[in-house]
A and B are shown apart, each in its own frame.
Chain A
Amino acid sequence: MTVATALSPAVTGSPAGGPARRRRVLRWLLPMAPALVLLALFLAGPILWSVYIAFTNETLTGSASVHSQFVGFDNFTRMFADPNFVNSFLLTFVFVIGSAVIGQNTLGLIIALLQRGRGRVTRSVVNGVVIGAWVMPEIVAAACWFSFLAEDGTLNRVLGISQEWLYTAPMLAVILANVWRGTAFSMLVYSAALSEVPPDLVEAAAVDGASPARRLLHITLPLIRRSIMSNLMLITLQTLASFGLIYALTGGGPGTASQTTPLYMYEQAFRYFEIGYGSAIALVMLVIGALFSLIYLRLIKVEDA
């Protein structure tokens, strides 16, 4: 049986190379083939394809749709010279720092810390509400925040003012909405990490007279630093490519005031059908994503992969 050779290939394997070797390859290749084919056709293929078309002037309309040409680095020089791209890049940076690194990360850690030692009822109510915002589809989350921030929305009613938040502070609006939606992930990561901090270490410090703030800063946080770093990487990766929430909430507007890079890419590739230029933007996003992903891989310890 082919499977039996899995346990002791040296003993059961046939003497000479040919058929036995082929069987050994087929043994793993056959079950993995569907996955490998799908990954090659629909993930690796498109990524390689984007490397190619990023250097062409391919469009879906006009003459270049029939005869696309190799244009070298034109798309990239155009991109970095385009104030709208630079603007979108800065906005993405603000969005990631504001909503992920500062917002979700800090709030998630605070909630996880506050939940330690609380009763089961308290924990499940808080978890339920925070996770609820996370499970909610992004367009529904956008609708919720639209109603909250609109001119005759809840926030203005509560404050008793009339303010078009989505026009006057669009970045603040999308950042708040994304903090609300994404905090659950960081909270869950930190709850898991904190549950592995040995309580006697913290107690010993308390007996020695260390204040809660010092215990947090010098014992708890250093112990979970690996979780903090990899959480930061993961939420950065998720936030970097965020599209639906911003698109539904502000559409990138007013003007380009909240047009992050994914929205700019959408406009170029899917509105103006500038596929070559859009792919160049996509490629820049992929490279940035790949860098963060590599840092993440270096940070975690992968046991026995």
Chain B
Amino acid sequence: MTRIAARGAALLSLLLITLAFLGPFLWVLIASVQPEASLSAAPTLTFSLDNFKAVLTWETIILPLINSIVISGSTAILTVLVAGLAAYPLSRYQLRYRRHFMLTLLFTTGLPVTAILVPVYAMFFRFNLYGSVPAMVLFLTASSLPFSIWMMKNFMDGVPISLEEAAWVDGAGWTQSLRAVVGPLMAPGIAVVAIFVFVGQWGNFFAPFVLLDTPEKQPAAVTIYTFFSQYGQVAYGQLAAFSVLYTAPAVVLYVAVNKYLAGSFNFAGSVKG
């Protein structure tokens, strides 16, 4: 009897929590298809795609989304390449300072990137890099590296060294071995790291906000902020439509790697280096 009551109470609490978390989402979804959405989610039975049509213009959303894809995409690709290379000796060789290096990487993941941006901004200003998208991508790559090298090394450790030996016998060097044997075998791991970095940068607001100078270079994260602060109160349905279009890629990519990421949450208990 008490067992059933406890079960019911647990389910009821979960239901309440879920509803509470769902509230703000519902607003976005409902308001985006309402012809005249106001701040509150007061759903009417009308359905229209006018809001989507209104925001789907070049300056409002298409260019910012392209910028987001370019910035997040190049950061992800560069990070995977650089981290993959760096992970190889860490995974394969006996290096004297490996443990120190790995611990330093883990330590670095804890430092607030927000604070690092002040000197980065000052540096960019001094070296005429302020407003440069490639320079910002290099900074974003560097800030993604500590965690990515860590993850890449873990995935690489999962590829048995015996598989590489055959390639060595055939006279392959480490570059060939990495490209032809290890790389393909850890493809899922590479995808996880790439998507992880991509999604992280997709939502990154502060770095482009302070490092880029003109609206034409800004990714959607900054454009939606500008839209929100300028028209947020007036064009609410459009803001909601913008939010849906901007959020969707992040959600889709997250779902794609969800099951691989689950394992990395043991991070808080013990970390396998």
The interface of chain A, by Cβ under 8 A from chain B, is 1-4, 6, 9, 27-28, 31-32, 34-36, 38-39, 41-43, 45-47, 49-50, 53, 58, 60, 107, 110-111, 114-115, 118, 122, 125-126, 129-133, 135-148, 150-154, 156-157, 180, 183, 188-189, 191-193, 196, 212, 224, 226-227, 230-231, 233-234, 237, 240-244, 248, 262, 265-266, 269-270, 275, 278-279, 281-283, 285-286, 289-290, 292-294, 296-297, 300-305
Contacts and interface: CB of A to CB of B under 8 A. Distances in A.
Given A2-B174, A31-B88, A154-B23, A42 B120 contact: yes
Contacts of B145: 35, 38-39, 43
A258 to B, nearest CB: 16
B119 A148 contact: no
A234 B232 CA distance: 33
A49 B116 CA distance: 10
B160 interface: no
Interface string B245-260: 0110011001000100
B173 A304 contact: no
A129 B112 contact: no
Interface in B140-192: 141-143, 145-146, 149, 164, 168, 171-174, 177-178
Nearest to B118: A282
Interface string B103-132: 100111111111111111111010000000
Contacts of B173: 1-3
A140 B205 contact: no
Contact of B24 (A133, A285, A290): A133
A140 B28 contact: yes
B105 to A, nearest CB: 9
B85 A143 contact: no
Contact of B205 (A133, A137, A191): A137
Contact of B273 (A154, A183, A305): A305
Interface string B27-67: 11001000000111110000000000000000000000000
16 contacts: A3-B168, A6-B93, A28-B93, A42-B120, A137-B221, A148-B27, A151-B39, A152-B40, A156-B40, A230-B269, A244-B205, A278-B118, A279-B118, A300-B269, A302-B106, A302-B270
B24 A153 contact: no
Given A270-B121, A286-B116, A138 B40 contact: no
Contacts of B224: 137, 139-140, 143
B267 A189 contact: yes
Nearest to B153: A305
Shortest beta-carbon contacts, A-B, top 3: A305-B273, A293-B110, A241-B112
Nearest to B27: A147
A302 to B, nearest CB: 5
B86 A32 contact: yes
A142 to B, nearest CB: 7
A192 B269 contact: yes
A49 B228 contact: no
B93 A42 contact: no
B76 interface: no
B24 A137 contact: no
Contacts of B146: 39
Given A147-B41, A148-B24, A282-B116, 18 more contacts: A1-B168, A3-B92, A6-B92, A31-B85, A31-B178, A38-B82, A42-B142, A46-B116, A110-B17, A132-B25, A137-B221, A140-B224, A147-B40, A189-B265, A234-B268, A302-B271, A303-B273, A305-B106
A265 B225 CA distance: 19
Overall SS of chain B's interface: helix
B212 to A, nearest CB: 12
Contacts of B102: 302, 305
B70 interface: no
Interface string B198-223: 01001101100010000000000100
Given A180-B24, A262-B114, A154 B107 contact: no
Contact of B17 (A60, A126, A145, A237): A126
Nearest to B171: A1
Contacts of B269: 189, 192-193, 196, 224, 226-227, 230, 300
A50 B98 CA distance: 28
Given A6-B92, A27-B93, A189-B265, A35 B41 contact: no
Contacts of A262: 112, 114-115
Most chain A CB within 10 A, of B13, B85, B122, B265, is at B122
B270 A265 contact: no
A275 B110 contact: no
A78 B94 CA distance: 49
A297 B106 contact: yes
Given A42-B138, A241-B113, A137 B247 contact: yes
B266 A192 contact: yes
B234 interface: no
Contacts of A300: 267-271
B6 A212 contact: yes
A126 B20 CA distance: 11
Given A38-B141, A180-B21, A270-B210, A189 B268 contact: yes
